[in-house]
Amino acid sequence: MIIHEGRKRQIRLMVEAIGHKVLYLKRIAQGPLSLGNLKTGQWRKLSEEEINQLKKCSNSPVSQQPR
């Protein structure tokens, strides 16, 4: 399931609305970043390019709208 802007428990509520229950969720990407081959508990430093991509995303009008 891909959503562009998640609200509090949005996926769980949508799935519940059709009579099912979410047992497990895993975020595999956040903005331009992808989890890739990282396993649970692992981490890595971001590249300069990834940092620049995040900065670019944070300056978009969508991310600056009040919630």
SS3 letters across the chain: CCCCCCCCCHHHHHHHHCCCCCCCCCCCEECCEECCCCCCCCCCCCCHHHHHHHHHHHCCCHHHCCC
User: How many separate domains does the chain show?
Assistant: 1
Residue 38 lies in a domain: no
Residue 66 lies in a domain: no
Query: Which residues on neighbouring strands pair with residue 34, listed in sequence order?
Result: 29
What is the reported pLDDT for 15?
93
User: What CA–CA distance (Å, rounded) separates 58 from 42?
Assistant: 25
Residue 22 lies in a domain: yes
Residue 67 lies in a domain: no
Q: For residue 15, what are the domain limits?
A: 1-33+44-61
Residue 23 lies in a domain: yes
What is the reported pLDDT for 16?
94
Q: What is the mean pLDDT of each run of 10 residues along the chain (67 residues)?
A: 82 94 88 88 92 82 49
What is the reported pLDDT for 17?
96
What is the reported pLDDT for 61?
58
Residue 39 lies in a domain: no
What is the reported pLDDT for 47?
93
